[in-house]
Amino acid sequence: MGRATAANQCEGGYDQGGRGLANVDITPHGKNRFPVMLGTDHSLEFHEGEFYPAKEAIDFYSHYKEDIQLFGEMGFKTYRMSLAWSRIYPNGDELEPNEEGLRFYEDVFKECHKYGIEPLVTITHFDCPIHLIKEYGGWKNRKLIEFYERLCRTIFTRYKGLVKYWLTFNEINMILHLPFMGAGLLIEDKETALKDKYQAIHHELVASALATKIAHEIDPDNKVGCMLAAGNTYPYTCNPNDVWKSIQSDREGYFFIDVQARGYYPNYALKQMKREETMPIMEEGDQALLKEHTVDFISFSYYSSRCTSADPKMNKQTEGNVFATLKNPYLQASEWGWQIDPLGLRITLNSIYDRYQKPLFIVENGLGAKDELVNDTVIDDYRIDYMREHVKAMKDAIDIDGVDLIGYTSWGCIDLVSASTGEMSKRYGFIYVDRDDQGNGTMKRYKKKSFDWYKKVIATNGEDI
Ligand code: BGP
């Protein structure tokens, strides 16, 4: 048990230690954020007058000792974090890595071990060096497999003995929804956009299998997982058309795990790609690689379930969700419209486990909320309530349903920049950071009420919640 962050949302230090620029750095806060994440804004530059939250984020780059000490105090057994690719290979395509970047992560891992915390490392979390986008067009170019392979060899070798748990790509299915953020893809032509996305996806799937192979070769103790933005889809009614639509919606995500955990493209996807003319170019050897190097475990993020209908009149989707969903009348929602459904977590765990029979790891889950700092703390009972219900659902999945759940790192050990809004005011942490949406504040850290609550949950392995 522990909690999770991503480099671009907490690290900052965007131009320190020889780091190069990445897609996340030039993604602004405010109304221009979505066009950039979608890949429809092609400028690839910083603009005067815009605020870029990832540049400084919460400055984990300089505060990591203090922050990890607090994670240790909470009793974390695991800390999920990601590497900034451009800190290790500033342009992405160099032959030699940046020693200063490598040393930074080495220090972070050593600091974790000081407190008995096992790092779980996402190799790329919405992160692609700008040079790889400008020069090669991001992941739609097969060359990226080679650069990613080099990154993997470097980190698996360098961090052998310090890191054993790896995730290849964060929320790999996000390429379909936010392609620039997910894969450094620019959408040039609407007609060919889906084909480009599936080409990029194929390259990431091959790169992921290659990473799994290399990780096992370099250290047989390494365990590699895939990572999906999950959440089961309910049919709005029991009309078979609604049920069929919900199955299709879930398959959009299952497709990725089907390939990464079973080792081949499922028939429904092959048929669909043929029909829609989006079949990616595959090279000889790709299929064998996918088949031979499936993941050791399956990880996913879960914030919410989804709901769908085949009735065209029921087309009003809720706001604030990257994944299309109808308002489910049985559920409450967060201030950002994310529907809160702890039983949905149990359902998702069961569906994924039934389908693959591999160990599962929930690597994100949590409540984004507006917090108020009063007398140096935040009384965040709403967050505790959310977490408590989700921990209960997990326990039921383990104790009653027999799901093999090996870990839980919920989102945001500490407040950080929100991926979707680029704002600080959508807070997930058990530690408050004094920084606002415009980048003002002292960066001082404060423990919230949830800090002690989670400490107790970890100490009792979820018994006392
Ligand atoms: C996931 C991402 C995370 C994280 C989380 C919460 O999609 O993997 O990076 O940010 O969602 O989302 P948000 O920050 O938009 O509330």
pLDDT in tens, 74-125: 999 999 999 999 999 999 999 999 999 999 999 999 999 999 999 999 999 9
DSSP letter for each residue of 343-410: HHHHHHHHHHHHHH-S-EEEEE----B----BTTB---HHHHHHHHHHHHHHHHHHHTT---EEEEEE
In our burial notation (b when 16+ CB lie closer than 10 A, e otherwise), range 122-159 reads bbbbbbbbbbbbeebbbbbbbebbebbbbbbbebbebb
Neighbours of 167 (CB within 10 A): 27
- The residue behind tokens 């806060």 is 29
- The two structure tokens encoding residue 136: 């090669």
Q: What is the pLDDT of residue 68?
A: 98
Residues with catalytic function: 364
- Which residue has the CA at smallest separation from atom 15 of ligand 1? 420
Atom number in ligand 1 closest to CA 336: 16
Residues 229-241 pLDDT 10s = 999 999 999 999 9
Q: Please choose from 23, 371, 411, 425 the residue to mutate so as to test ligand 1's pocket, defined by most ligand atoms within 8 A of CB.
A: 411
Instruction: Give the span between the Cα atoms of 21 and 98, in whole angstroms.
Output: 14
- The two structure tokens encoding residue 235: 């049919």
User: Using an 8 Å Cβ cutoff, are 20 and 131 in contact?
Assistant: yes
Question: Residues 188-215: what's their mean pLDDT?
Answer: 96
Q: Please choose from 37, 181, 336, 364 the residue to mutate so as to test ligand 1's pocket, defined by most ligand atoms within 8 A of CB.
A: 364
Neighbours of 99 (CB within 10 A): 12
Distance from residue 280's CA to the centre of ligand 1 (Å): 28
Q: Please choose from 125, 323, 420 the residue to mutate so as to test ligand 1's pocket, defined by most ligand atoms within 8 A of CB.
A: 420
Instruction: Give the span between the Cα atoms of 102 and 15, in whole angstroms.
Output: 15
Instruction: Give the span between the Cα atoms of 170 and 173, in whole angstroms.
Output: 9
Question: Residues 300-319: what's their mean pLDDT?
Answer: 89
Q: What is the pLDDT of residue 140?
A: 97
The architecture that CATH gives domain 2-459 is Alpha-Beta Barrel (3.20)
Distance from residue 240's CA to the centre of ligand 1 (Å): 33
* ipTM exceeding cut-off 0.95 for this assembly: yes
- Which residue has the CA at smallest separation from atom 9 of ligand 1? 419
Distance from residue 420's CA to the centre of ligand 1 (Å): 6
Atom number in ligand 1 closest to CA 420: 15
Residues 12-23 pLDDT 10s = 999 999 999 999
- Which residue has the CA at smallest separation from atom 4 of ligand 1? 419
User: Using an 8 Å Cβ cutoff, are 414 and 429 in contact?
Assistant: yes
Atom number in ligand 1 closest to CA 174: 7
Q: Which of 156, 196, 234 is nearest to 40 (CA)?
A: 196
Give the binding-site residues of ligand 1, using a 6 Å CB cut-off.
6, 9, 170-171, 229, 301, 364, 368, 411, 418-420, 426
Question: Residues 290-312: what's their mean pLDDT?
Answer: 96
Helices and strands in the chain: count of H runs, count of E runs: 15, 14
Averaged pLDDT of the chain = 96
Distance from residue 193's CA to the centre of ligand 1 (Å): 24
- Which residue has the CA at smallest separation from atom 3 of ligand 1? 419
Neighbours of 221 (CB within 10 A): 11
| Beta bridge mates, 411 | 4
pTM over cut 0.90 = yes
Would you list the domain boundaries of the chain? 2-459
Is 419's pLDDT higher than 90?
A: yes
Q: Where are the alpha helices (DSSP H) in 219-312?
A: 240-257, 267-276, 286-292
One-letter identity of residue 413:
C
Distance from residue 417's CA to the centre of ligand 1 (Å): 9
Q: What is the pLDDT of residue 392?
A: 97
| pLDDT band at residue 317 under the 50/70/90 scheme | confident
| pLDDT band at residue 282 under the 50/70/90 scheme | very high
Distance from residue 355's CA to the centre of ligand 1 (Å): 25
Question: Residues 18-34: what's their mean pLDDT?
Answer: 96
